[in-house]
Amino acid sequence: MRVQWTWGGVSFQVANYALLALLGAATLYPFLNLLAISLNDSMDTVRGGIYLLPRAFTLDNYKLIFQNQRLFSATGLSVARTLLGTTAALIATTMVAYALSRREFVLRKPLNAVLVISMYVNGGLIPYYILIKQLGLTNTFLVYLLPGLLGAFNVLIMRSFFDELPPGLIESAHLDGANEFTTLFRIVLPVSLPVLATITLFLSVGHWNAWLDNYLFNTDESLTLLQYELMKILMQSTDQIGAGAGNNVDAELMRMTTPQSIRATMTIIVTVPILLVYPFMQKYFIKGMTLGAVKG
């Protein structure tokens, strides 16, 4: 396109770039600021005035957190939940999406209805809470994996991707004698990497960030997740409602550092894994999102 250089056009561009840069800065600044605080000596931080760079550099805050038994095991459990939960849900989502994308599948319509209606109808929080209790899922690791095993939204995104695949792909696999499982895992999945990446990202972020199920169902301290521990420290220091959030990280830890430094450090710990993964997925999930939106 031909670009015309007019005063109005140039000043608009300048203002636009400035505004967008400001928005970017406003988004990044809190993270960079917390990163600086997490890398700064906790006693020094109390004096204030830490912005983008640490003043008295130290890794002590990180060492203290990983030396703390509870926080260390919470980290392990969060990682385990994310890996297992994502894997299980990815398998479930893929198989259901594949089955529902097959036009000749006899149960396609009723199953699809059950799936789609589940997005709009729900019994509400308290009936759900009671159901989990009655199923005996309280204080189990399973409560992190099972309820979210299949999500309608993810299935719809993946199904609309499968719908776009050339029909000959599956037919020819069947003609060659491949059964459904072989067709799915050997033929369809290798050409579906973009949508697999998208769904994997959504699932793993969801699992990594989850804490409500921990708060509601698992009072057992050996099942506590990193996000929940961060939430408890947050609640404690701001005198918030959080029932049962009183006792948490060892008093010893609090003596050696400050709540502010712990919060900053834990925020960085729970954020960094996401920042490491998602920029590489960007082009995939944008495609996945728009696909889902057009079809959804």
Partner 1 sequence: MQAHTVKRQTTPRAYKSRGRLRKLASQYQLILMSVPFIGVLFVFHYLPLWGWLMAFQKYSIPKGIMGSPFVGFDQFAELLADSRFYQALRNTFAMSGMSLAAGFVCAIGLALLLNEARSMFFKRTIQTIVYIPHFVSWVVISNIVIYLLSPDHGPLNELLAGLGAVGEPIYFMSKEKWFWVIHTLAGLWKELGWSTIIYLAVLAGVNPEMYEAAEVDGAGRFAKMRHISLPSLLPTATLLLILAVGQMLSTGYESQMLLGNSFVMDYSQVLDLYALDYSLSIGDYSYGVAISMFKSVVSIVLVLGVNTIAKRVGQSHVL
- Least separation in angstroms between CB 1 and partner 1: 6
Shortest separation between residue 120's beta carbon and partner 1, angstroms: 5
- Closer to partner 1 by Cβ: residue 17 or 57: 17
CB of 168 to partner 1, least distance (A): 19
We find the least distance from the C-beta atom of residue 139 to partner 1, in angstroms, to be 15
- Residue 108, amino acid: R
Separation between Cα atoms, residue 58 and residue 257, nearest integer Å: 12
The nearer residue to partner 1, 68 or 236, going by C-beta atoms, is: 236
Q: How many residues are given for the chain?
A: 296
Partners of 57 in the beta sheet?
Answer: 40
Shortest distance in whole angstroms from residue 111 CB to partner 1:
5
Residue with smaller CB distance to partner 1, 125 or 191: 125
Closest CB to partner 1 among residues 80, 146: 146
Give the C-alpha separation, 80 to 86, whole Å. Answer: 10
> Which lies closer to partner 1 via its Cβ, residue 65 or residue 115?
115
> Given the structure tokens 């997740």, which residue do they identify?
225
Write the CA distances from 43 to 8, 75, 98, 261, 264, integer angstroms.
52, 25, 56, 9, 14
Closer Cβ to partner 1, 35 or 64, answer by number: 35
Query: Residue 230: in which H helix or E strand, if any?
Result: helix 226-237
- Which residues lie across from 40 on neighbouring strands? 57
* Cα 184 → chain centroid: 26
DSSP three-state, residue 57: strand
The Cβ-side half-sphere exposure at 147, using a 13 Å CA radius, reads: 20
Closer CB to partner 1, 222 or 240, in the complex: 240
CB 38 within 8 A of CB 62: yes
Q: Shortest CA distance to 135 belongs to which of 125, 147, 123?
A: 147
The helix, strand and coil proportions of the chain, stated in percent and rounded to the nearest 5, come to: 75, 0, 25
Tell which residue, 185, 139, 189, has the closest CA to residue 161.
189
Output the smallest distance, CB 250 to partner 1, in A: 20
Least Cβ distance, residue 220 to partner 1 (angstroms): 17
